[in-house]
C-alpha cells in the first residue's frame, strides 16, 4: 500500500502546513540543527536534508516528499527548536501551538 497515494490533498496540505513557511527558514533550521545537536542525532546527511527541503518548497516538483523523509525533517526541526540557544520567536510560537487532528 502506497501511503503517498492514500493521503488526500487535504491531509497532505495539513501535514505540510506545519513546516516553516519559507524555504530559507527551513534551511536555517537544518544549519542550526547540525551546529547544535547533529553530532548526537545524525538521522541523515546534511546534503540530503537540503535536497528534501528543495523538494518540499518547489511547487514544480513532480512528486511529493516521501512520508518517512518528511518525518525525519520534522524530527530535525523539532530537536533543533528544543535545543537551540537562540531560537527565532516564530519557531517558539509555532512550536507551542496545539496541532489540529486531520
Sequence ranges of the domains in the chain:
3-96
The answer to whether the Cα torsion of 14, 16, 19, 23 is positive or negative is: negative
**Per-residue model confidence (pLDDT) at position 97:** 63
pLDDT above 60: residue 99: no
With 0.85 as the threshold, say if the pTM is over it. no
46-65: b (≥16 Cβ within 10 Å) or e: eeebeebbeebbeeeeeeeb
**Once rounded to an integer, what is the mean pLDDT over residues 20-33?**
90
- Distance of CA 85 to CAs 9, 21, 80, Å? 36, 21, 9
Cell of residue 77, nine digits = 526541526
Amino acid at each position: 500500500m502506497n501511503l503517498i497515494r492514500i493521503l488526500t490533498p487535504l491531509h497532505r496540505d495539513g501535514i505540510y502546513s506545519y513546516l516553516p513557511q519559507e524555504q530559507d527558514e527551513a534551511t536555517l533550521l537544518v544549519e542550526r540543527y547540525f551546529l547544535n545537536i547533529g553530532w548526537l542525532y545524525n538521522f541523515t546527511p546534511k546534503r540530503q536534508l537540503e535536497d528534501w527541503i528543495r523538494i518540499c518548497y518547489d511547487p514544480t516538483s513532480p512528486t511529493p516528499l516521501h512520508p518517512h523523509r518528511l518525518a525525519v525533517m520534522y524530527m530535525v526541526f523539532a530537536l533543533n527548536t528544543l535545543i537551540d540557544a537562540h531560537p527565532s520567536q516564530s519557531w517558539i510560537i509555532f512550536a507551542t501551538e496545539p496541532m489540529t487532528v486531520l
